[in-house]
Amino acid sequence: MYSHNSLTFTIHPGGSLCGVIRTPGDKSISHRAIMLGSLAEGESRVTGFLEGEDSLATLAAFRAMGVTIARPATGEVVIQGVGMHGLHAPAEPLDVGNSGTSMRLLAGLLAGQGFAVTLTGDASLSKRPMRRVIEPLTQMGARIESEAGGSAPLRILPTAHLVGIDYRLPVASAQVKSALLLAGLYAEGETAVTEPAPTRDHTERMLLGMGYPLERAEGRVALRGGGRLQGGSLAVPADISSAAFFLVGATIAADSDLTLEHVGINPTRVGVIHILRAMGADITLLNLREVSGEPVADLRVRSAPLRGIVIPEEQVPLAIDEFPAIFVAAACAEGETLLTGAEELRVKESDRIQVMADGLALLGIDVEPRSDGIRIRGGKIGSGRVESHGDHRIAMAFAMAGLRASGAITIGDCANVNTSFPGFATLAAGCGLAIEATTEGAA
């Protein structure tokens, strides 16, 4: 296994992406499967589980709290649920690594457990904003201590009881919504969340699938505490966030014809498809079906010329994790692409607006970062070394840029690709990307 901050990608120019591939399981759904399966009664069998570092951090956290979780085969997890009140205080702080989803959702889930627990993470996660979760949970009666500014580590203290609240999200965030709903499982009365724009609804779908009643109306979801979850089978689809890099790569590389199998197309996650199609991408959805309550399809993508667009702000929350890849598409498009309303990108694993702007500018693209977005004028991608700043999505986005580069692109600090996409370099090379993965200083 590569040590962190040592993995480098080198992409040689040219090539096409062809064939049939399956990207790893959905990270968001994998997290939630471990969490809700652990709180359920009976056994839950998960297939398609993402064995990346983020999801495995969640798995390790629940093992540390007394849940028996087996991994009998690659992508398969068997959870022996302990019920809503069966978790035990861990002997040590729970280290969730680079996973903001783990930390924010666990903050909600653990707020009503009745024991003290500390959540820690790596240096990157320790800089990310947690106040957006701490403040509404505190309104419910949670006792959460943090570092100055509301950052991790978070210490969650026992509380007598939680009380449901009716909370209106100031900024669309599936993680905050999910944290409040998970806390609401343990709260007196009703917990309701209203969001300003649609965000991913995997938590709601999984709760309903495991027998927990909730109410959903336009932009609002509500549940009452005191219910039960029932274990069962759950198939995790391939992650559209991981598929996005290949959607962009096959679009910008000449003579490409690539099919991505079994991709989740939850309507709260398909902004990347809408945006790329608006730019001219040739993406066809095949074999549409539903698996474990989630819509799934095979995505066929072929080479197509792209044009710059003004990205509709209503699509931003539906594509928030895919913008590094979309920025590469914009760099290859004719004309100008403008993104606004995406302040959230500045507080991800890196400041994705600034880091992508710096890298694209180094490669010769005319780019203007803004406080809530970016302007990109398409052009010829050059060569050089860019830094991912430990952000998995930045690294994979620049890897796809190599398909249209005039020379080699070297990408530093790529080890965190394993948080969401273990085996990325091997899979990408297998369908036509000229990629080398090396450790710094290796012979």
Catalytic residue positions, numbered: 321
Q: Which residues pair with 439 in a beta bridge?
A: 7
Rounded to an integer, what distance in angstroms lies between the CA atom of residue 351 and that of residue 310?
21
Cα–chain center distance at 327: 17
Q: 160: Cβ–Cβ under 8 A, 6 or more apart, which residues?
A: 141
∠ Cα 352 354 355 (to 5°)? 65
The β-bridge relationship of strands 76-82 and 117-120 is: unpaired
Nearest to 73 by CA among 54, 58, 53, 51: 51
The upper half-sphere exposure of residue 321, i.e. CA atoms within 13 Å in the direction of its Cβ, equals 26
Q: Which residue has the tokens 């890099």?
A: 245
Q: 40: Cβ–Cβ under 8 A, 6 or more apart, which residues?
A: 79, 81, 83, 210, 229, 230, 231, 232
Rounded to an integer, what distance in angstroms lies between the CA atom of residue 180 and that of residue 192?
8
Rounded to an integer, what distance in angstroms lies between the CA atom of residue 172 and that of residue 174?
7
State yes or no: cis peptide before 90, omega within 30 of 0: no
Q: Which residue has the tokens 């600034």?
A: 354
Name the DSSP letter for residue 253: S
Sheet holding 190-194, edge to edge: 166-168, 190-194, 220-224, 215-217
Rounded to an integer, what distance in angstroms lies between the CA atom of residue 17 and that of residue 29?
27
| Sign of the CA dihedral with 427 first, then 353, 389, and 383 last | positive
Cα 406 to Cα 50, 327, 402: the distances in Å are 34, 18, 8
- CB-count exposure of residue 107 (10 Å: 0-12, 13-18, 19+): buried
* Continuous segment of H or E residues that includes residue 277: helix 271-278
Q: 117: Cβ–Cβ under 8 A, 6 or more apart, which residues?
A: 65, 89, 90, 93, 94, 110, 155, 156
Nearest to 352 by CA among 364, 362, 343: 343
